[in-house]
Chains A and B, each alone.
Chain A
Amino acid sequence: DGGITQSPKYLFRKEGQNVTLSCEQNLNHDAMYWYRQDPGQGLRLIYYSQIVNDFQKGDIAEGYSVSREKKESFPLTVTSAQKNPTAFYLCASFPQDAYGGYTFGSGTRLTVV
C-alpha cells in the first residue's frame, strides 16, 4: 500500500540534544511538508519542499532543519536551538500536478525529558 511512514512513533529527547524525525513516502509525490501540532493550536507549518534538493521555511522554522536528498525522504532535525520542542510532528505529501488534500503520516510524538 502507498503511504507515508513516520518513525519513530514516540521519541524522547534530553535538553541540548539534536534529534531527527524520519518521513518516507512511496506515493511518488513531489511536495512534502512538516507540521507541528500543539493542543488547541491546530497545525503550523515548519518546512516544506516542492522538489528534491530544495526546501522552504514555513511559519515556525526556527530551531529546525531539513534535507531533501531523495524524492521519497524528508527528514526533520529538531535542534537544541528549539526552545519548546515537545509536540506532535506530522509529515505530509502532495502530488505536484493535483489540487486537493494532502496525505499525512501517522505522526511522531516528541517529548523533552
Chain B
Amino acid sequence: AQSVTQLDSHVSVSEGTPVLLRCNYSSSYSPSLFWYVQHPNKGLQLLLKYTSAATLVKGINGFEAEFKKSETSFHLTKPSAHMSDAAEYFCVVSDGYGGATNKLIFGTGTLLAVQP
C-alpha cells in the first residue's frame, strides 16, 4: 500500500530565505508524486508532479522537487521565499500512474509561514 509522510507540520522562514518542505513516501512500485498548495479557505492548486520522467521536477512559482528513490523522498524547495508563499502544502502519492482510475493519498500537510 502507498503512504506519504510529511515530516513537519509547521515551517517558518524569513522572506528571501530558502524553503524546504520534507516528504517521504512508501510505495511498492514506482509512484507518481505531487505537491499541492492550499491558501486559506481555498481549493488545492497543483504545484508540480513527478511521473517517472526527470527526477528534478520544476513547478510553478519557483518551486521544485527532487525524486530520490534511494531515500524514498520528494522534498519541495524554493530558493527564496515570498510572503505570498504562506499557505499549506500537501505531498501526495498516487497508487498508480496518476490517472483517473488511481487513488490519491494525501499527506497531513505542512503549514508554511513567511516572516517579513
Contacts and interface: CB of A to CB of B under 8 A. Distances in A.
A2 interface: no
A106 B42 CA distance: 5
Contacts of A95: 100
Among B41, B43, B101, B108, the one with the most A-chain Cβ atoms within 10 Å of its Cβ is: B43
A45 B105 CA distance: 9
Contacts of A58: 103
A94 B100 contact: yes
A45 B42 contact: no
- If over half of B's interface residues share one DSSP class (helix, strand or loop), that class is named, otherwise mixed; here it is loop
Interface residues of B, number: 24
A32 to B, nearest CB: 10
B43 A104 contact: yes
Interface in A9-65: 9, 30-31, 35, 40-45, 50, 58
A107 B41 contact: yes
Given A99-B51, A109-B41, A42 B109 contact: yes
Contacts of A45: 103-104
Interface in B81-116: 90, 97-101, 103-104, 106-109
Contact of A43 (B41, B101, B106): B106
B107 to A, nearest CB: 6
B98 A42 contact: no
Given A90-B43, A101-B34, A104-B44, 16 more contacts: A35-B106, A42-B106, A42-B107, A42-B108, A50-B100, A50-B101, A92-B44, A95-B100, A96-B99, A96-B100, A99-B97, A99-B99, A102-B46, A105-B43, A107-B42, A109-B41
Which 4 residue pairs of A and B lie closest in terms of their CB atoms, listed nearest first? A101-B46, A104-B43, A42-B106, A31-B100
Interface of B: 9, 32, 34, 36, 41-46, 49, 51, 90, 97-101, 103-104, 106-109
